[in-house]
Amino acid sequence: MGPLDKFMLSDHSLLVTDSGCDLIIRSHWYRSLPLSCIGNIGLKINEKNIPSENISFEVNGKIFSFNELGNLYQEWWFILDSAILHIENNFLEEGKEYKVELELGLLIPYVLVGPDGQPMLSSSKLSKNLLSRRKKN
Amino acid sequence: MLKSGTTLYSLTIEWLSGKYSLEEIIAETSARKLGPGLEVVGFQTIRNFPSISSEFAVEFRRLLDEYELEPSCLGANADIGIRRSGHLTIDETAEYLKAQIIAASKLGFPVLRMQMAAKPEVIRKLVTTAEKSKVILGMELHSPYTLDHPSVIELQKLYDEIDSPCLGYIPDFGCCMQRIPSLVLDSFRKDGMPETLISLIKEIWLSDADTAEKFKQVRERAIALKGTPSAIGRLNMILALFSRQDPKRWSEIMNRIVHIHGKFYGFDAEGNEPISTTRHS
């Protein structure tokens, strides 16, 4: 939605792994947020929806299931750091171009809206054709 | 005396590009004569913020000395919504912000930017720490918190009651806009937002309804127009970024202004900035 969306995916974000694939992502907000502020992750690869339960999230050298993120208000995603989405059982060919569509919904914890003061949802979508590469161990 | 300065927040794109180290972005700010004041948002610039190691504090002070900049304001965040189960309590919010007051003190910032998500009861609990740390708490009056907002009126009562030199205001000129910047609406259109929702937010933004009513209208009318949660979030963001207060009204709180956030959103061919009212104030 804004000028920072371009940082969400780089040309080298899509990696082929033994168990599926990895996607290296960055936040589209301007500052670090804890993982509890990740409201939703929508992902399509070549038009195929990847359910969020098939995605785990790695940051700070730790891996969390998508469902755990909402509780992690003390685990921070520094704004200059990448996170890795590990996607199980989504096998890709190496060296092939894939259309990747990523939606990242962030709950902004100091901008509160509505009668209950819910964190404002800031959601950005980025679509990019990415060449898959084999992940180096 | 009024001094100008730059917040590294205004260099967010450059910072996130990864092309600059902290020293390089400070050096560039200095080389372009954008000082003498330097403001940073703690959670943007500093890893592990608000924890500040002695080494980082020494290095940060050295950088400002070397590049002849003065620490003007540290941006704190009152993240009361970080926990899904409910807002941080008054005590938890106070602790969250005390750590940021101490960070400001370690880094040599005279002012800590506060946010209205911190209620007056929180501010009351912070006054002693601020006074001991010699840090002024500058409440940022950022859209939608204009001077007529009930929460600002409530805070003003607390300021009158406590009357501490450590309590002040930071007017943000996003409160004093002539119109919604077209570049923002164009980015919504580019992402496929229907014109009905664009017209809706323009109408509500220009109305004289109070803030709560505007947010309510956005929610109810956007849902009726089949707006998605993501689209409604964007419309809310307009209200959270831009208001229509007359800039002359800042004179009502002039004696407590400790720092100012100017804004600009683009220039015309003559070099004028027609969107915000900053230059007319």
Which are the contacts of B186, defined by CB distance < 8 A and separation ≥ 6?
none
**Res. B281: pLDDT tops 70:** no
Cα(B176)–Cα(B235) distance, integer angstroms: 18
3-state helix, strand, coil in chain B (%, to 5): 50, 15, 35
Cα(A50)–Cα(A27) distance, integer angstroms: 19
Which are the contacts of A105, defined by CB distance < 8 A and separation ≥ 6?
A38, A39, A40, A41, A42, A121, A122, A123, B230, B233
Confidence at residue A79, expressed as pLDDT on a 0 to 100 scale: 98
Cα(A22)–Cα(B118) distance, integer angstroms: 39
Nearest by CB to B82, from A73, A78, A123: name it.
A73
Span B95-102, average pLDDT? 98
From the centroid of its chain, how far is CA A121? 15
Cα(B257)–Cα(B136) distance, integer angstroms: 11
Contact residues, chain B, for A1 at CB < 8 Å: 187-188, 191, 234
Interchain proximity A109–B49, CB inside 8 Å: no
Span B161-182, average pLDDT? 95
pLDDT per residue over B18-45, tens digit each?
999 999 999 999 999 999 999 999 999 9
Cα(B114)–Cα(A66) distance, integer angstroms: 32
Helix B182-190 and helix B195-206, axial crossing angle in degrees, nearest 10: 150
Give the H or E element holding residue A43. strand A38-45
Span B76-100, average pLDDT? 97
Contact residues, chain B, for A107 at CB < 8 Å: 81
Q: Is A51 on the interface with B (CB under 8 A)?
A: no
Domains for chain B: give ranges and CATH numbers: 5-177+245-280 (3.20.20.150), 182-237 (no CATH)
This prediction's pTM = 0.94
Nearest by CB to A31, from B43, B216, B219: name it.
B43
ipTM summary value:
0.96
pLDDT per residue over B1-14, tens digit each?
889 999 999 999 99
Phi/psi at B177 (nearest 5 deg)? Answer: -95, 150
Among candidate residues A102, A107, A96, the one with its CA nearest the CA of residue A83: A102
Other C-beta atoms closer than 10 Å to the C-beta of A112 total 20
In a 13 Å sphere around the CA of A68, the CA atoms on its Cβ side amount to 12
Among candidate residues B256, B186, B255, B198, the one with its CA nearest the CA of residue B227: B198
pLDDT per residue over A22-76, tens digit each?
999 999 999 999 999 999 999 999 999 999 989 999 999 999 999 999 999 999 9
To the nearest whole Å, the CA of A98 is away from the closest chain B CA by 21
Confidence at residue B277, expressed as pLDDT on a 0 to 100 scale: 59
From the centroid of its chain, how far is CA A41? 6
**Res. B216: pLDDT tops 50:** yes
Span B44-60, average pLDDT? 98
Q: Report CA torsion sign: A23, A29, A33, A35.
A: negative
Size of interface A-B (CB pairs under 8 A): 98
Which are the contacts of B92, defined by CB distance < 8 A and separation ≥ 6?
none
**Contact yes or no for B39/B26 (Cβ under 8 A):** no
- Biggest CA pair distance of chain A: 50
Confidence at residue B191, expressed as pLDDT on a 0 to 100 scale: 85
Cα(A68)–Cα(B135) distance, integer angstroms: 37
To the nearest whole Å, the CA of B43 is away from the closest chain A CA by 5
Confidence at residue A92, expressed as pLDDT on a 0 to 100 scale: 94
The answer to whether B142 is a known catalytic residue is yes
Among residues of chain A, what percentage have pLDDT more than 90?
90
Mutant choice from B236, B241, B243 vs A, greatest count of A C-beta within 10 A: B236
